[in-house]
Structure 1
Amino acid sequence: MGGAVPFEGFWINTWIERRAELSPSWVALADDAAGGVRRVVFRELSERARRVAGYMRSELGVGRGDVVAMLSWGRVEVLEVLFACSRIGAIFAPLNVRLAAPELTDLAGDVQPKALFFEGEHARKAKAVAESLGVRELVHIGEGGFGPSVSYLEAVDLGGDDSPELVGLEDPVMLLQTGGTTGRPKWGVVTHRMVFWNALNTLRDLTVPGGATITAVPLFHIGGYTYTLPLLLYGGVNFIMHRWSVDRFIELVERERPTFLFLVPAQLKMLVESPRFWEADFTSVRWITSGGAALTPELIRAVMKKGVVQKQGFGMTEMGPGVFALDPWDAERKMGSIGKPNLLVEARVVKDGEVEASPGEEGELLLRGPSLFGGYWRMPEETERALRGGWLHTGDVVKRDDEGYFYVVGRRKHVIRSGSESIYPEEVERVLLAHPKVEEAVVIGVPDPKWGEVPKALVVLRRGEKLTKEELAEFCEGKIARYKIPKYLQVLDEIPKSPLGKVSRAALAELYGKPEDSY
């Protein structure tokens, strides 16, 4: 875990406390989770985080190294609990509200949370997780608690002001879900060091104090923290959307006047396709950063036509949201590039193991720097495999041009990128294979005009059986998140395999990668 560091500036809760001293009446956070808009100044944010920390320690028995789970899309309380955890050395673990209850239970089971905070609208899922894992310390946000759960407002009222826990740079502050380079989702360890250096990577571009953003990406994804934490360090404002709606987003931009925005490509596409966008006032926006997938030239040109500067970025849970950036002045000249590594990031492109690739040659992307994550939670072999030789082996295939600009050629093996979500085919296949009519199943990604990619199921049925897409979707409902349910179904007599009996997803995508059904 590393030794304690006397300088507490690396401890993210200290950022808020110092901001409360420097600019107590500046607005730090805002949201619309309860219907109307509420705004929280730095003094109030610091005080509420201190009181929640005191409540967790004295009433819930949460201490250093304990995991505190959160079930919410995004609202002020999510960040208050994060800062409260930071104060007492606990570890914040936000859960993806889009997941089905069995998936949430499986994922939360990997970290065994001491306490679970949840929004009332997710009470059913929270109850399933709590009962399955034996979590007894429960706090509900808003209406809709159950059984032993305590109101968040009560926690704030009853919380004391305990002394903080001194933490070290390598101590975990947060766990975020990631797929790594293979397999089922796992938890990436976000340390205090990682958060601090990621903030510096982002702050290099924020040349004026303050600033504002609208957090439109859920706070259970690394993308949700692109500007959120750096702006809090910088004294800026975060308006947290409770859920995504393109019309609501446009309304907020006009009213809140943000300076920086982050959207995944699917959100950006919805934005430019909205007639309201072309009439709306976006003059406050200095730029829109996008990451998670490559932007098409058409999409970049559409944003630029509006007069808004478009930045392409690239990040990941293992290295943080601010890994690569394409500067605005290069947006058109280097269209399709993710830019260059940020100030505090080193990047290599290697082929055939560790041979350095020449400009124009494809190879695996390797990364290192002070913003590197702390490994995979309680998965030493996975961590060692990913961090061979002190470099993060990302599994992403990239190339670099002779000016040092990087381009993503292919994404991590097998992963389907749908909007802001990563879909791991193996998860979906396990559910499909449980269907009584299915003999074999392989899931691939196919193009989708709205989401970038969506899953398509290739199945071999048991003798004499028939199956429709609707039947399959009904079977999957409640077992996996809806965005993981295959949008297309193709029934095959057999699934092609190599001479060794292995399935090549790339080959299957070539053969069956059209967005169409075939029964």
Structure 2
Amino acid sequence: MADDAAGGVRRVVFRELSERARRVAGYMRSELGVGRGDVVAMLSWGRVEVLEVLFACSRIGAVFAPLNVRLAAPELTDLAGDVQPKALFFEGEHARKAKAVAESLGVRELVHIGEGGFGPSVSYLEAVDLGGDDSPELVGLEDPVMLLQTGGTTGRPKWGVVTHRMVFWNALNTLRDLTMPGDATITAVPLFHIGGYTYTLPLLLYGGVNFIMHRWSVDRFIELVERERPTFLFLVPAQLKMLVESPRFWEADFTSVRWITSGGAALTPELIRAVMKKGVVQKQGFGMTEMGPGVFALDPWDAERKMGSIGKPNLLVEARVVKDGEVEASPGEEGELLLRGPSLFGGYWRMPEETERALRGGWLHTGDVVKRDDEGYFYVVGRRKHVIRSGSESIYPEEVERVLLAHPKVEEAVVIGVPDPKWGEVPKALVVLRRGEKLTKEELAEFCEGKIARYKIPKYLQVLDEIPKSPLGKVSRAALAKLYGKPEDSY
């Protein structure tokens, strides 16, 4: 395993990774008072220490909760408040946000990675040095090992419970057809998203090589591919588009790469063909926090013949397409995707009603609209209700709307997704202003700065006299998208 978090390249062998995780586990238990069921939060883009802390948590029955470093401090505090972490590990570059979270929630057990600690925080290296025998805790398959942020109908992110069972079976699903001795990958997706674990954990189980990028850069990625010689990769469509648009890509040596898997948003045929023109197989995958990253897979030999398909369910995944409630859809018909299998998540953290709603009848009701062809290949037709997919991020309109409605000039606000050539979708604000007021996109962006992550700030603004509603007074986002779904400003 390797990373570039400290500027240069750092390589870690499995024995060292295991020993450091053991010592960190001992430190958390003896010095931080972390025990079974306690939540340990992490604020990092991605580096070897993230996995060390994850494995340390698994040894003592604690629960690992990586936080999205792109979020503003108030958002992080709100999100972390839902899980009440016992301890917080953070990279020095995120010390300001870590301090805000710790002070707001009263988190006293703090460990900083690299330079930049504050007050009571302890150096990670000191934690490794002081850590002793962790006396591993016996855990069950249904015990939680990790919490990952996911979406829902409430308009705010929730925490999905990743159990030991889910991690194990997802790894087997991913490894079944994908790996050979000597396989390697580069993790270019942040480790606070489910996509960051697509190949990371399965390769560790198999004994493969994994290079964790600390932060995405297309030039750096190309450099790493040529030097590290990965055999397969996972990228979100936005990253893939940056790759094919880089002149360096067409000159670079990608001969070691057997294929690139992409997920998180739809791939256009043009993008798939561009990658294949380079001589690399490009295939679509499909996963989610509630079921893991390895839910559907398109075999490399079908990548061109079934272009646009997410493939078939993996061996340990059952999938149904239903319409009008629970009626099975015929091939070619659209319907909601239902899933079940041993890689199913453990529910939403301390949200029994949301969990029951999602797992009705023992099936995960995904909210995704799909169709299946005569050969059993699946195609995603639509996205989950309301959610805007921007690159690898999910933007929840209600979350942005709450900030917009706090603006003194705004009377009403609705946020929709509009097409973007780079990110797939970006948010657009539809607002009704208070009488006599005027507002520009720049003013609105300045107001949002620091309250929500920058990628959530509306990229377009349209001022309306009124927002159309149904006879019951409800807003139809689908109808608004048809009326105002162009990437343009109007005010």
**Could you tell me the TM-score, scaled by structure 2's length?**
0.99
Q: Does 1:204 align with 2:204?
A: no
Q: Counterparts of 1:207 and 1:318 in 2: how far apart (Å)?
A: 24
The alpha-carbon deviation at position 119 of structure 1 amounts to 0.3
Q: Is residue 182–residue 413 contact of structure 1 (8 Å, CA) maintained in 2?
A: no
Q: Counterparts of 1:206 and 1:272 in 2: how far apart (Å)?
A: 24
For residue 366 of structure 1, give the secondary structure of its aligned residue in structure 2.
Answer: strand
Q: Counterparts of 1:210 and 1:484 in 2: how far apart (Å)?
A: 40
Q: Is residue 364–residue 395 contact of structure 1 (8 Å, CA) maintained in 2?
A: yes
Cα deviation 1:175-224 (Å, max 9, x = unaligned): 00000355210000000000000000000123412411100000000000
Question: Residues 201 and 181 from structure 1, CA distance in 2 versus in 1: closer, same or farther, beyond 3 angstroms?
Answer: farther
Equivalent position of 1:446 in the other structure = 418
Q: Quick one: which of 77, 84, 89 aligns to 2:56?
A: 84
The alpha-carbon deviation at position 293 of structure 1 amounts to 1.1
For residue 216 of structure 2, give the secondary structure of its aligned residue in structure 1.
Answer: coil
**Could you tell me the TM-score, scaled by structure 1's length?**
0.94
Cα deviation 1:272-322 (Å, max 9, x = unaligned): 010000000001111100001111100010010000011210000000000
Q: Is residue 60–residue 137 contact of structure 1 (8 Å, CA) maintained in 2?
A: yes
The alpha-carbon deviation at position 242 of structure 1 amounts to 0.5
Cα deviation 1:307-346 (Å, max 9, x = unaligned): 0011210000000000001111111111111111011100
The alpha-carbon deviation at position 161 of structure 1 amounts to 1.6
Question: Residues 207 and 30 from structure 1, CA distance in 2 versus in 1: closer, same or farther, beyond 3 angstroms?
Answer: closer
For residue 426 of structure 1, give the secondary structure of its aligned residue in structure 2.
Answer: helix
For residue 313 of structure 1, give the secondary structure of its aligned residue in structure 2.
Answer: strand
Q: Counterparts of 1:181 and 1:197 in 2: how far apart (Å)?
A: 27
Q: Counterparts of 1:183 and 1:198 in 2: how far apart (Å)?
A: 28
The alpha-carbon deviation at position 390 of structure 1 amounts to 0.4
Cα deviation 1:143-167 (Å, max 9, x = unaligned): 0000000000000000002210010
Cα deviation 1:448-475 (Å, max 9, x = unaligned): 0000000000000000000000000000
Cα deviation 1:392-427 (Å, max 9, x = unaligned): 000001111111111111100000000000000000
For residue 164 of structure 1, give the secondary structure of its aligned residue in structure 2.
Answer: coil
Q: Quick one: which of 346, 355, 373 aligns to 2:345?
A: 373
Q: Counterparts of 1:496 and 1:394 in 2: how far apart (Å)?
A: 28
Q: Counterparts of 1:269 and 1:329 in 2: how far apart (Å)?
A: 22
Residue identity (%): 99
Question: Residues 359 and 445 from structure 1, CA distance in 2 versus in 1: closer, same or farther, beyond 3 angstroms?
Answer: same
Equivalent position of 1:185 in the other structure = 157
Q: Counterparts of 2:326 and 2:153 in 1: how far apart (Å)?
A: 17
For residue 296 of structure 2, give the secondary structure of its aligned residue in structure 1.
Answer: strand
Cα deviation 1:335-363 (Å, max 9, x = unaligned): 11111101110000000110000011110
Q: Quick one: which of 356, 359, 376 aligns to 1:404?
A: 376
Question: Residues 182 and 311 from structure 1, CA distance in 2 versus in 1: closer, same or farther, beyond 3 angstroms?
Answer: farther
Q: Is residue 181–residue 412 contact of structure 1 (8 Å, CA) maintained in 2?
A: no
Q: Is residue 215–residue 240 contact of structure 1 (8 Å, CA) maintained in 2?
A: yes
Q: Does 1:336 align with 2:308?
A: yes
Q: Counterparts of 2:362 and 2:181 in 1: how far apart (Å)?
A: 35
Q: Counterparts of 1:260 and 1:306 in 2: how far apart (Å)?
A: 14
Q: Does 1:321 align with 2:312?
A: no
For residue 11 of structure 2, give the secondary structure of its aligned residue in structure 1.
Answer: strand
Q: Counterparts of 1:409 and 1:35 in 2: how far apart (Å)?
A: 42
Structure 1 unaligned blocks of 5 or more: 1-28
Q: Is residue 443–residue 455 contact of structure 1 (8 Å, CA) maintained in 2?
A: yes
For residue 12 of structure 2, give the secondary structure of its aligned residue in structure 1.
Answer: strand
Q: Is residue 368–residue 392 contact of structure 1 (8 Å, CA) maintained in 2?
A: yes
Q: How many residues align?
A: 491
Equivalent position of 2:354 in the other structure = 382
Q: Counterparts of 1:308 and 1:181 in 2: how far apart (Å)?
A: 38
Q: Does 1:465 align with 2:441?
A: no
For residue 301 of structure 1, give the secondary structure of its aligned residue in structure 2.
Answer: helix
Cα deviation 1:353-404 (Å, max 9, x = unaligned): 1000001111000000000000000000000000000000000011111111
The alpha-carbon deviation at position 31 of structure 1 amounts to 0.5
Equivalent position of 1:7 in the other structure = none
Q: Quick one: which of 405, 421, 425 aligns to 2:397?
A: 425
Q: Is residue 180–residue 186 contact of structure 1 (8 Å, CA) maintained in 2?
A: yes
Q: Is residue 54–residue 162 contact of structure 1 (8 Å, CA) maintained in 2?
A: yes
Note the aligned Cα RMSD (angstroms): 0.7
Q: Counterparts of 1:335 and 1:40 in 2: how far apart (Å)?
A: 38
For residue 177 of structure 2, give the secondary structure of its aligned residue in structure 1.
Answer: coil
Runs of 4+ aligned structure 1 residues displaced above 2 Å come to 180-183
Moved more, 326-335 or 441-450: 326-335
Moved more, 43-52 or 201-210: 201-210
Q: Counterparts of 1:206 and 1:439 in 2: how far apart (Å)?
A: 53
Q: Is residue 73–residue 219 contact of structure 1 (8 Å, CA) maintained in 2?
A: yes
Q: Is residue 210–residue 234 contact of structure 1 (8 Å, CA) maintained in 2?
A: no
For residue 77 of structure 1, give the secondary structure of its aligned residue in structure 2.
Answer: helix
Question: Residues 231 and 181 from structure 1, CA distance in 2 versus in 1: closer, same or farther, beyond 3 angstroms?
Answer: farther
